[in-house]
Amino acid sequence: VNQQRQITSFFGKS
């Protein structure tokens, strides 16, 4: 099953 990832799991708070 393809799970939708969130953008926050790739880019951290700056």
Partner 1 sequence: MLELRLVQGSLLKKVLESIKDLVNDANFDCSSTGFSLQAMDSSHVALVSLLLRSEGFEHYRCDRNLSMGMNLGNMSKMLKCAGNDDIITIKADDGGDTVTFMFESPTQDKIADFEMKLMDIDSEHLGIPDAEYHSIVRMPSSEFQRICKDLSTIGDTVVISVTKEGVKFSTAGDIGTANIVLRQNTTVDKPEDAIVIEMNEPVSLSFALRYMNSFTKATPLSDTVTISLSSELPVVVEYKVAEMGYIRYYLAPKIEE
DSSP 6: P
Q: Which of residues 1-14 bind partner 1 (CB under 8 A)?
A: 1-14
Smallest gap from Cβ 9 to partner 1, in A, equals 7
Smallest gap from Cβ 13 to partner 1, in A, equals 5
The two structure tokens encoding residue 7: 């953008």
Residue type, 6: Q
> Interface with partner 1 by CB under 8 A: which residues?
1-14
